[in-house]
Amino acid sequence: MKSFDNINGALPEPREEIKNMNIYSAPLENRRNLLRLDFNENTVGPSPKVIKALNSIKPYQISIYPEYNLLKNKVCDRYCKLKTFEFEEIGLFNGADAAINAIFNSFGKGNDIFLTTNPTFGYYFPCAAMRGMQIITSEYEGERFDFPLKDFEKKIKQYKPKLIFICNPNNPTGTVLKSEIIIELASKYKESLFVIDELYEKFYGDSLLGKTDLNKIKNIIIIQSLSKTAGLAGLRIGFAFGNREIIKNIEKVIGPYDVNSFAVEAALAAIDDLDYIDKYVSEVKNARKWIMNKYKYASVKSHFSGGNYFLCWPNKSTEKIEKDLRDKGILIRNMGNKKNIENSIRVSIGTQSQMKVFWENYSNLDL
């Protein structure tokens, strides 16, 4: 007769890659009713058209599985103002994170090489680790965190990575790599899959979407979402643009109904009101100039670049600044666990009125 060890409390063993991983987590609880300058979200909420669409959802839309063709067609025709896309060149995902995970699930396996920059978006690393990939990084250069192009290309030649991720603009440094350079790299190293995370691109304005022929350059994937600009972070909706064969393989590893009906309706309404997104992005850019000038004339080291966020190195400890600002109802992100930017905080940029509130409180605490 077989013995049943689990009766006595033994547990099934996870894969070795999972056992050795650190949990990727973000402090996302208890953030309501505060000035949220910690996760680079839209700080004013979605378009009124989105609210109207959500309020108009019928009961049957909740009780049946979601449909996606209408949204995919609208993304094809209207999402990018510079060009249209083929239906098969677009994938819909439960947020950009789900797109990232699906790409690793489709193309990453044990002992493949994963190349990215450092510091960058933290979720890339557990996605690579859980597939047993070897992780290689290139560090941003100098006080302005310039893209390490020579070292990056050297490592592409040396390691022949299966997956290359470029966050552009990079989170958290804001570093931008020109789209023409990315196209040149992808054209030269066709055995690598280049994944370009463009979640913050609209705050800079150099997207690959309008410049890349996905039929000619087949090894580029472009990720965008409606979280940072359209205010849909809570509904989770992201897009991946790529060659139809690439997208087809990525879609094989996702569930049939991963994107919910509320997200679909909200995304349809958001794309119908791209002027709202443009207006919000313009407001953030103006606020970025305003707060950048405040730091310029203060004795606090700071770094501003392409995203809707900036880094600064307070005179006091980052832990104290983080706590003191929270006590004032303002959330920022402590970068103490990020290599090469220790002792800094990252501050999301909202509207100019919101940045005035931040500056008044920050300057009273640290200057």
pLDDT digits (tens, 9 = 90+) for 245-262: 999 999 999 999 999 999
| pLDDT > 70 fraction of the chain, expressed in percent and rounded | 97
User: How crowded is the C-beta side of 215, counted as CA atoms within 13 Å?
Assistant: 3
- Say if residue 312's pLDDT is above 60: yes
pLDDT of residue 82: 86
- Say if residue 23's pLDDT is above 80: no
Block residue for tokens 């000035």: 35
At 161, the pLDDT band (50, 70, 90 cuts) reads very high
For the segment 66-92, the average pLDDT, to the nearest whole number, is 95
Same fold, 26-45+275-366 and 48-272: no
Residue 170 identity (one-letter amino acid): N
For the segment 170-199, the average pLDDT, to the nearest whole number, is 98
The residues pairing with 220 across neighbouring beta strands, listed in sequence order, are: 194
CA 160, CA 110: separation in Å to the nearest integer?
Answer: 15
At 5, the pLDDT band (50, 70, 90 cuts) reads low
User: Of the CATH numbers 3.40.1710.10, 3.30.460.20, 3.90.1150.10, 3.40.50.80, which one belongs to the domain with range 26-45+275-366?
Assistant: 3.90.1150.10
- Say if residue 344's pLDDT is above 70: yes
pLDDT digits (tens, 9 = 90+) for 130-153: 999 999 999 999 999 999 999 999
At 264, the pLDDT band (50, 70, 90 cuts) reads very high
User: Of the CATH numbers 3.40.640.10, 3.90.10.10, 2.70.98.10, 3.10.150.10, which one belongs to the domain with range 48-272?
Assistant: 3.40.640.10
Q: CA nearest 258: which of 128, 86, 97?
A: 97
Task: List the chain domain ranges.
Answer: 26-45+275-366, 48-272
